[in-house]
Amino acid sequence: MIDSQPQISIIVPCYKQAHYLDTSLKSVLDQSCKSWECIIVNDGSPDQTETVAQKWCEKDARFRYLKKENGGLSSARNAGIAVAKGDFILPLDADDLLHSNYLKETIAVFNANKKVAIVGCYSIFFKESIDNVVMVHKPKGNSYKSLLYVNQLVATSLYKKELWIEVGGYDESMKDGFEDWDFWLSVTKRGYKYHILPKPLFYYRKATQSMLVQTIKTKAEKVKEYLIHKHREIYIEDFDNCIKVFTHHLVTSRKKEQRLQQSLEYKIGKVIVKPLKLIGILKEQKASVK
């Protein structure tokens, strides 16, 4: 019998990840806790997302399908949460997986402690197969102070839907990633606490290419600047430590640059490039004479 009022709503946005969707939804179906619904949000994906999603909706009525124009991850999550029936929300990316006891163990924390607003856990980062473990992420802390400079909480953490309503959802202007970090800051700076279960109940797929990978490589500083401006009051409150953190980053960056310049590869590269630069100068001089 299907629960007409599920306790938990799992939101699965999908964009160009239909090839992973079956595995992700299978991990939802296998949950030992049965009071859930799963809303698959097709964010204008050009692949077979709709076909895969409809198959799961036919398999189990707890799966629901929502199609929208492409608007980015925040927009897709917001669209799914807006129609969610559960009192608790769990975002799940279409390429990630849940341990079969994820819902059972995390909801138990809420039942035991009414003051907790968000529950996360240890996460296994894997490549291709969950047996190919890259690392185990072990978040720390319980308040916004632990989230200022490192996003301790992965996006797939369970939280009360009322928090989403209170902060106005995910920031849809953040199309380059870190939108979950921004969301956790928006929630916790209001005084809400999070709790970390010291168990690896979530499997995060470490992709070679993804929006987050691209952001970290090319846009991380710009996105962090946006975060700091948006939540400036808590960074100003932590001003002295903030300066220490950024100074540390500058020193670390300079040391990396110095090591690069002293490396054999860098020196060989300079030797190879030098004649090319000389040719370029000669061409410019010749052109100016004409």
User: Among 226, 215, 218, which residue's Cα sits nearest to residue 182?
Assistant: 226
Domains in the chain (CATH in brackets) are 8-209 (3.90.550.10), 241-289 (no CATH)
In this prediction, residues 244-249 reach a mean pLDDT of: 81
Q: Yes or no: say if 126 and 132 are a contact pair by the CB < 8 Å rule.
A: yes
pLDDT in tens, 151-200: 999 999 999 999 999 999 999 999 999 999 999 999 999 999 999 999 99
Tell me how far the alpha carbon of residue 86 is from its chain's centroid: 22
What is the pLDDT, as a whole number, of residue 158? Answer: 98
pLDDT in tens, 33-76: 999 999 999 999 999 999 999 999 999 999 999 999 999 999 99
> Can you read off the two tokens belonging to residue 56?
């799961």
Q: Are strands 158-160 and 116-127 parallel, antiparallel or unpaired?
A: antiparallel
d(C-alpha 46, C-alpha 184), whole Å: 30
First to last CA, the chain: 86
Q: Output the pTM of the full model.
A: 0.84
Query: Could you count the other beta carbons within 10 Å of the beta carbon of residue 68?
Result: 15
Residue 266 confidence class, pLDDT cut points 50, 70, 90? low
Which run of H or E residues covers position 235? helix 232-237
d(C-alpha 234, C-alpha 231), whole Å: 6
Residue 105 confidence class, pLDDT cut points 50, 70, 90? very high
d(C-alpha 285, C-alpha 86), whole Å: 71
Q: Yes or no: say if 104 and 32 are a contact pair by the CB < 8 Å rule.
A: yes
